[in-house]
Structure 1
């Protein structure tokens, strides 16, 4: 029985049988093929996994479906491993924020300290889009374990850094590993659970993301104040090793067929090089513009132009050249998927911006310690965790994700609007209340939008949809931090110089300290500096409000088809099950008819024995040996007579 051609999202949910999926870029349909048929094609794996040319002149590449279903107990063990990996990745990205002042003091590098965070985020963003397709080719398990090892190595070396250059390089290594963790943990769980159950488990993974991102600043501040900032990086290493061990023993290995050389030939090397180069050039330019370098400097302009040209070349390669693109452009033909990518980019701007600049507000404008700053972020984290979990359960129960997405973005936008009222005298109760509102909003959207993207795309594109979506979130975060940094740095100096209380030298000293006020200031000078910091942060809050509102508007353009897919997929499965049940008695009937025919032939040749099957029938695989009921002696006599032998 041949499976039907998958031309709609309904076929994407037929996940219970392994298939070998042929991917042809362009308008050609994505057709799942039976595993046996795919393996029977000549030289698919021997010739680098490349089969016949497609309709558009491109080579057609076979990728293997890695879906699996596990008993609940095993699924729970895998979930714990994935949740720990995600928690560590996001914790590592935010814990450094409260450790930056201590690092800057040790290395005497206040002006370049922002590159500790920027290098991690740039590498995270650049590599994140690659892991989805790489895991399609080499298998999820080994690629995830490799990403975790890279992450651990980067953090270990970061703790041993002796200067700012070493710190920036090693943080980039950790970021490259973290990018793989973020994408693969979500991809793997999408492989292990059905589309209906996906909301529940992705919501729980979203809770791990929220907890990691939220407790990071607390842990970073605690190590910086009570021990040394180096432990901010070192303490993640043994925990990452535990995650690797969990994954090795608990995550089933879905073997991807083919030789290593054949798999290497499937990789879109040209596209990989181009997207890495384009991302790095563009993000280095926007991260350094306005702080390390002037926006109109030759270096920044050259990096932006070069990055833009390389990115255009990348799009052409993915469109016309790559047989198995790392970012298939057909994804952007789907309105809902395209909207979610744009929306995720906007969410990244606000999400990462808040995680980095709320601690600046708490520690400088409000005078809190690093630990207190982290504690003030907990209302945002806890409510985001609860909302992510609850919304996932609701999506799985109702089969609808748009109500959660709409509600979440509206509540989040209201919270961001209230955040614009933050000043030097805002009560702690109001701050906590507003952050609870924001957390309950963003928690309903963080992972629900991933379920929406996967539901609107093809099953074959599940990994690249997840990787591309996370890529847009990270690159949004990079843009957000760069824009906020430019606004904050420029306005801070402007307000300091405009203050009648501060001299030019004092304004320069305060601006150079950036993350802490210099000692020796009078009360009036200190108040003027704090007012300048508060005024410099205000435009960032207003930008967050505008971006959040735009995200809320975009959410109404996402098609909600999860329930329809589930309902349409169920009859397909029932029909297949019914057909299988009907075929089983038919096969037995055919075997019985064949046995009767063979028996009649034997009777005409050697006289009547019995109408029951013989051992010869069993020997010739015509019947099951258990169906032979004649005595051993009569069967042996029959065989001797047939062979012309005598006793």
Structure 2
């Protein structure tokens, strides 16, 4: 991956030829109303970047891509495999939680991994995350019931949250803000490929092998990346002792954050499906989850010596707008990605493999646009226009999806996916670059943890809320299905949480009118989900107006980790 005139890393000391061209002096940005300078770096706890060879850099980047790929793949690979998993393990009640357990743990664990990497260093944290992800994959693949599978998925999500966070932070430690635009866009391409090929892999493995291979395939990748990271990654190592590190962790913040995500998502998932919305269980979960938000914020602001999250990220209109754009993008894009195969299988009667292949238009569009967006930021040094275009196109694409019905043509499906994919891909890395460009290098990791938590929370809410809308819509449609003459067993199979596990039931119905009624019920319920995702994407459009453009620097220093450096930075902030 050759840098174009914006190098940060030279060849190793033994090489007479530099690996990348020298860094030109940074140009002072023009004084305009819309372009601001980056934040003051006076408090940075950093050092000059190490000298690395091309071989070392490329090897590290390839390993990081593989780590991110398997972590992102496991978010969507189950979207087409879920019906097979549910049927094999006889657990229709757990359909939504096959995906949600991974995403919930992913959201909650991400900031904890980042703080651990600040305390013990990036390399030990990455190695631990890879090892835990491998163990969790074994548990999930060997599951004998739904409870074991969901537990394995939760552990996978916790480790996957670490991999996702630490990949971006490692790149931020290696490259300048201007240069990392290109590399993070490459990681965005990995996200796109993993997210959109996941359903293809899941469908193919479920149809021709076993759904268990969706998780066994992680093991060789984990082995390779573990070895590469062990021998090639050479970021700052503080050698913090275990006891000192454990004392530095923000335990109150960790517990309260876990409580917030667990209580709120359980309440939303149970509401209207397992228990009525006005039941004491649902009300208590949502109320106490909301109250825990206040306790978490108080803990981070007043009690934590080394907070999990950088609350100063939420100061100022621009940073808040960036967080909202990222949050709504994660909700809308992942929700559509996760539930579009449900439309293909239930309404268009596609097989799991076919439903994955039908996502190819979005895959190809995202791959091309993501790279072009990265090159644009790398060469021009601007991201705001990309955020505007991305939010607008994603909202338009989600709105077009609401037109999907039982008679929608293949050409229409392809065209709408191209529009949505164009907007979705522009927002994978632009909010990340915008936020990183708004904080100092020393605060980049914590700021990224905050943004990634909001993204992960968005994806978790997306699947849960999407499942709630779909299940409640199918329940509402029961009277329509009963009027068509369907029997009680069929009505029960198409009601509430059981509907998603019976997407191919219409193929077993001989009466054409009844079969059409089932397809229309699925189409109507999925349309309601797309309406919700369109509204969420529209919020991102409004927020994007307030995003400010700041100068993207070409200079770089590497962040030093460890408790001593965290304390030094904290003292500097308190005295400023």
Q: TM-score scaled to structure 2, two decimals?
A: 0.85
Q: Quick check: 2:509–2:515 contact (8 Å CA) kept in 1?
A: no
- Please, which runs of 5 or more residues in structure 1 have no aligned partner? 1-7, 13-29, 34-63, 573-647
Partner in structure 2 of residue 152 of structure 1: 134
Q: Distance in 1 between matches of 2:191 and 2:417?
A: 17
- 1:339 lines up with 2:315 in the alignment: no
The 1:138–1:405 alpha-carbon spacing in structure 2 relative to 1, beyond 3 Å, is same
Aligned alpha-carbon RMSD (Å): 2.0
Higher relative contact order (CA closer than 8 Å, sequence separation 6+): 2
- 1:251 lines up with 2:237 in the alignment: no
Cα-to-partner distance string for 1:400-441 (whole Å, 9 max, x where unaligned): 111222122222222222222111111111211211121122
151-160 vs 254-263, greater mean Cα deviation: 254-263
Match of 1:510 among 494, 517, 535: 494
Q: Distance in 1 between matches of 2:338 and 2:527?
A: 14
Deviation (angstroms), 1:451? 0.6
- Please, which runs of 5 or more residues in structure 2 have no aligned partner? 1-36, 558-576
- 1:213 lines up with 2:195 in the alignment: yes
Q: Distance in 2 between matches of 1:481 and 1:156?
A: 24
- SS of the residue corresponding to residue 456 of structure 1 reads coil
Match of 2:523 among 528, 531, 534: 534
Partner in structure 2 of residue 9 of structure 1: 38
Match of 1:408 among 390, 395, 398: 390
Q: Quick check: 1:409–1:442 contact (8 Å CA) kept in 2?
A: yes
- 1:31 lines up with 2:43 in the alignment: yes
Q: Distance in 1 between matches of 2:441 and 2:377?
A: 19
242-251 vs 208-217, greater mean Cα deviation: 242-251
Partner in structure 1 of residue 362 of structure 2: 380
Q: Distance in 2 between matches of 1:272 and 1:514?
A: 34
The 1:536–1:69 alpha-carbon spacing in structure 2 relative to 1, beyond 3 Å, is farther
Deviation (angstroms), 1:365? 0.5
Partner in structure 2 of residue 525 of structure 1: 514
- 1:200 lines up with 2:186 in the alignment: no
Partner in structure 2 of residue 185 of structure 1: 167
Q: Quick check: 2:38–2:550 contact (8 Å CA) kept in 1?
A: no
Partner in structure 1 of residue 271 of structure 2: 289
Q: Distance in 2 between matches of 1:379 and 1:410?
A: 19
Cα-to-partner distance string for 1:161-214 (whole Å, 9 max, x where unaligned): 111111111110101000011111001001101111111111000000110111
Deviation (angstroms), 1:122? 0.9
Deviation (angstroms), 1:308? 2.1
Partner in structure 2 of residue 545 of structure 1: 534
Deviation (angstroms), 1:520? 4.1
The 1:32–1:194 alpha-carbon spacing in structure 2 relative to 1, beyond 3 Å, is closer
Partner in structure 2 of residue 477 of structure 1: 459
Q: Quick check: 1:204–1:389 contact (8 Å CA) kept in 2?
A: yes
Write the mapping of 1:363-378 to structure 2, written as runs, cut at 5 A.
Answer: 363-378=345-360
Cα-to-partner distance string for 1:337-373 (whole Å, 9 max, x where unaligned): 2211122111121122112210110001111010010
Partner in structure 2 of residue 464 of structure 1: 446
Q: Distance in 1 between matches of 2:402 and 2:228?
A: 44
| Greater C-alpha Rg | 1
Q: Distance in 2 between matches of 1:462 and 1:69?
A: 21
Q: Distance in 2 between matches of 1:241 and 1:528?
A: 49
Deviation (angstroms), 1:556? 1.9
Q: TM-score scaled to structure 1, two decimals?
A: 0.76
Q: Distance in 2 between matches of 1:169 and 1:293?
A: 22
Deviation (angstroms), 1:246? 1.7
- SS of the residue corresponding to residue 61 of structure 2 reads helix
The 1:183–1:246 alpha-carbon spacing in structure 2 relative to 1, beyond 3 Å, is same
Deviation (angstroms), 1:67? 5.7
